[in-house]
């Protein structure tokens, strides 16, 4: 029986209040708003009675049922899988696939952890050289169909730390370096795959070079892969020799979906 390691962050609505004010509008990517109906609450009892045609005094144990109402939730909420459609309408020369176009067989893959912590710097690009050094440390190569998980060290920060939003980011070149070797799933423990938006926007203002805008994700337009963000517990994994299941919610025709990501370690 393999050991199961959960690589998924918890979708806690309390985290919405921990976002810095400039990012408050992005709360839906952190967690949904949740209306909790506890079995012992009036709301839980009332909903039970409304559906079953009874009164509070009729409840067998004096309680209703537990239920929750979720709203203001992005398809890119928490630990999530990006389908190719997130990066553009076409990928690898074909119409980009949605999250419900991807069969489960493509989402259960051998895993490989590239630990770039010795070289990665906050707010700077994760280079091809860093990736190659981390790959050398694993003692193996990337095989076709591998899930490559980048450990950036961002797990040491929480949502209330400014550093959490200044992650080292992947570029177009570094992303293609992995997909050209055969990686089909690309994961990170950072809040985003690319450099922070504000830094990309600043670079664009300074240079006028539009290729710097979201270039890590845009690399998927050239070579298809699935990007997975906001992973956790990568430090609990060996560098290789394990399987990972990336199981997104089946949201019809969507560009992404929240996922339960679990590593299976022998």
Please provide residue 173's backbone torsions phi and psi, each rounded to the nearest 5 degrees. Answer: -65, -45
Joined tokens for residue 1: 């029986």
Count the neighbouring beta carbons within 10 Å of the beta carbon of residue 219: 26
Residue 225 neighbours by CB under 8 Å, 6+ apart? 84, 175, 178, 179, 183, 184, 185, 186
Joined tokens for residue 45: 């009892």
Question: Tens digit of pLDDT per residue, the chain (266 long)?
Answer: 999 999 999 999 999 999 999 999 999 999 999 999 999 999 999 999 999 999 999 999 999 999 999 999 999 999 999 999 999 999 999 999 999 999 999 999 999 999 999 999 999 999 999 999 999 999 999 999 999 999 999 999 999 999 999 999 999 999 999 999 999 999 999 999 999 999 999 999 999 999 999 999 999 999 999 999 999 999 999 999 999 999 999 999 999 999 999 999 99
Q: Which pLDDT value is given to residue 84?
A: 98
Joined tokens for residue 182: 């055969």
Please provide residue 29's backbone torsions phi and psi, each rounded to the nearest 5 degrees. Answer: -90, -5
pTM: 0.96
Q: What is the helix (H) or strand (E) element at residue 177, kind and residue range? A: helix 172-179
Q: How far is CA 129 from the centre of its chain?
A: 24
Which residue, 142, 135, 155, 146, is CA-closest to 7? 155
Q: Are 95 and 84 in contact (CB under 8 A)?
A: no
Place of tokens 């926007």: 201
Name all domains of the chain by residue range, CATH numbers in brackets.
Answer: 33-71 (no CATH), 80-265 (3.50.30.50)
Question: 231 vs 81, 90, 107, 245, CA distance in Å?
Answer: 10, 26, 15, 12
Q: What's the rounded Cα separation, in Å, for the pair 47 and 39?
A: 10
């Amino acid at each position: 029986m393999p050991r199961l390691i959960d690589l998924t962050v918890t979708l806690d609505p309390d985290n919405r209040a921990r976002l810095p004010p400039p990012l408050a509008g992005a709360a839906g990517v952190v967690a949904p708003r949740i209306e909790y109906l506890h079995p012992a609450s009036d709301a839980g009892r009332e909903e039970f009675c409304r559906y079953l045609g009874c009164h509070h005094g009729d409840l067998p144990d004096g309680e209703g049922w537990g239920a929750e109402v979720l709203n203001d939730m992005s398809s890119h909420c928490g630990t999530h899988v990006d389908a190719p459609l997130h990066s553009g309408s076409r990928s690898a020369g074909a119409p980009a696939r949605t999250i419900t176009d991807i069969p489960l067989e493509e989402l259960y893959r051998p895993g490989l952890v590239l630990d770039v912590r010795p070289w990665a710097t906050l707010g700077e690009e994760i280079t091809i050289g860093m990736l190659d050094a981390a790959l050398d440390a694993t003692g193996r190569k990337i095989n076709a169909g591998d899930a490559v998980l980048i450990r950036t060290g961002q797990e040491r920060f929480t949502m209330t730390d400014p550093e959490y939003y200044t992650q080292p980011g992947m570029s177009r070149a570094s992303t293609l370096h992995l997909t050209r070797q055969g990686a089909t799933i690309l994961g990170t423990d950072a809040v985003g795959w690319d450099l922070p938006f504000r830094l990309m926007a600043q670079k664009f203002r300074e240079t006028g070079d539009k290729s710097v805008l979201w270039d890590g994700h845009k690399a998927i337009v050239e070579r298809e892969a699935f990007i997975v963000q906001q992973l956790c517990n990568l430090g609990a994994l060996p560098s290789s020799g394990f399987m990972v299941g990336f199981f997104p919610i089946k949201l019809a025709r969507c560009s992404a979906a929240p996922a339960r990501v679990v590593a299976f370690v022998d």
